[in-house]
Structure 1
Amino acid sequence: MSPNALIPSHRKPRRPSASSRALRAGVTGGFLTLAVTGATVPANAAEKPVSETQEMPTITTALATSATKSADTAEQVAFNYERQALQDSAFSKAAKAAEKDKAEAVKKAKAEAKKKAEEARKAKEAAQARASRSSERSTLSAPSSSSATGSTATLVSFLKAQLGKAYVLGATGSSAYDCSGLTQAAFKQVGIDLPRVSQDQSTAGKQVGLDNLQVGDVLYWGSAGSAYHVGVYVGGGKFIGAQNSSTGIVERPLDYDMPTGAVRVL
């Protein structure tokens, strides 16, 4: 046998390598289908063209669910951000409004305080003006304390000089007097012209209480306007008057014959 003689091979023909196969893929009924088909098949191959198909569970549903959850999460996050932004905006507006209201309240309070202070100042000035006018009127209408003291001293001195003289009804001096004649003559010494009779002298001045007598007040007995007797208060709880024809002009304590009232002409 020739060394070059052909010896039939008992090896099976080799299938095409993986690199020579074509890959087909598809999705069917929710499964991923992979098909691998040989590129060439020998004519005498006993086997039919090989079609290798593998089905794998698809991940489409999982991906869709995940995507849906991601979308929901993103939407919720966006909603939360929007809500927070609205809350922050509302809070900022409320804070600005509160600050504005506070500023207005402070401004109003200051205006009210200023108005009250101005009213108080005007009231004080008006009171001071009234007090000043009253003081001026008092100064103009009333004699000075020194002149009043001088007048009462002159008045009392004249009355004391008449003590012991006679009481004569209708007499006006200088050796005898009746009660109203004596008071008229005494006040004439200090420039005051009293009416002639007791009734008129009892209303000639300002009515004063017997608990508030001053030297020089005219005392009267009877009622004001119809008094029947007068005298002059000389201090120390005493008065001088032309009492009657028995006693003449005397100085007596008030409780000797308590008068009814008094008028102030000095």
Structure 2
Amino acid sequence: MSHTAHIPSHRKPRRSASKIALRAGVAGGVLSTLAVAAAAGTANAAEPVSETIEMPTLTADLSAQIAQSADATQQAADTYESRAEQDAAAAKAAKQAKEDLAKAEKKAEAERKAEAAAKKKADEERASRSTERTSLSTQSATGGGGSTASNSVAPASGSVGAVISFLKAQLGDAYVMGASGPNAWDCSSLVQAAFKQAGVDLPRVSQDQSTMGTEVGTSNLQVGDILYWGGKGSAYHVGVYIGNGQYLDAANPGKGVVIQDLSGYPASGAVRVL
């Protein structure tokens, strides 16, 4: 035995092959990882860098604000549209009013002209009637004597024509109860004035006129006969027969002095004073 055998050796113990292999594997793995990392770094360096912007997250308040803004925008649009419609309607109404006013003025002007023409015509007819009345009065005064009202009247020749001419000259005059001319009559005043043209003085009222002259049947009438409606002596209306089944009278306020057919309103009786 060596005299140094009991002294521990200062050599490092040999590593076993398995430990060496393990360490080599670890080292290789590290190197491989570094190599891969380096390669990845090189690849990443070659690629372009892009930046990702993160969009803000919509919160409840932001959503409410957006909704309110949309509502306000819609309300404004509706308001503008409503105003536009109102303006269009107002413009249309103004145009229509202007057209209506023009039509009304045109119609009023036409009515004024028609009224003026009617008045002129009425004045001319009135003047013509007045002239004819004057002429008839002159003819009556120079054509022969008259007589007082009685049941036996002897009028001058041609007196029936004077009566009928006077009556026709009053056509269109008004009917007014109690009136005695020259432009308004009631039934008996017209008959009285007409027969006065022939020199015959008749009573003023229809009741008395129905008792004058000679009673004749309504089927045997002659021009100039006095027609009456109602009872003899109590007649309520009178007129004068002018031939062809017609008579002339101051009918009523609605008609005035007119010519009518006996077939439409048959008389109760008739008297002849001429």
TM range (shorter): 0.3 to 0.5
The structure showing larger relative contact order (alpha-carbon pairs under 8 Å, at least 6 residues apart) is: 2
Q: TM-score, normalised by structure 1?
A: 0.45
Q: TM-score, normalised by structure 2?
A: 0.43
Q: Which structure has greater helix proportion?
A: 2
Q: Which structure has greater strand proportion?
A: 1
Q: Whose radius of gyration is greater, 1 or 2?
A: 1
